[in-house]
Amino acid sequence: MSPARADIENDIEQTLGLVPSFFDGIPDELLEAEWTLFKRFEFEETHIPPKYKQLMGVALHSYTHCHYCSLFHAAAAKLNGATDEEIQEAVHFAKHSAGWSTYLNGTRQDYDQFASELEKVGAYLAG
């Protein structure tokens, strides 16, 4: 193990309590970049608060059917204060949104008309 990898794995362990095995396969030259992004988006305050990022992850991976990511994001959402009801709502929102996407793309709605109508709706709702 390279000294740089040992330092990064030490940071992972300090953050998570262990170095999860899924980091093992990441090449030495990519580990620092992958860990930096992982830590930033999964644990740090960014423009989107952690609870909402994790609920987005719940919704996204309900749709992608990634069991690993669904488990991770549901647990992380709860650690960040999400309730079971909020997690269920995120899943239902993903189902709802994916259904509309299927319909709009499948029926080949005119994109320019859609954008124009959306702009009008936004102006109306803004008052």
Alpha carbon separation from 91 to 8, 42, 71, 73, 95 (Å, rounded):
34, 19, 13, 12, 6
Looking at residue 30, what is its pLDDT?
96
What are the domain boundaries of the chain?
1-44, 49-127
CA distance 84 to 42: 19
- In CATH terms, is domain 49-127 a member of 1.20.1290.10? yes
pLDDT for residue 107: 96
User: What SS3 class is residue 57?
Assistant: helix
CA–CA separation, 79 and 71 (whole Å): 12
φ, ψ dihedrals at 48, nearest 5°:
-105, 125
pLDDT of residue 45: 87
pLDDT at 99 > cutoff 80? yes
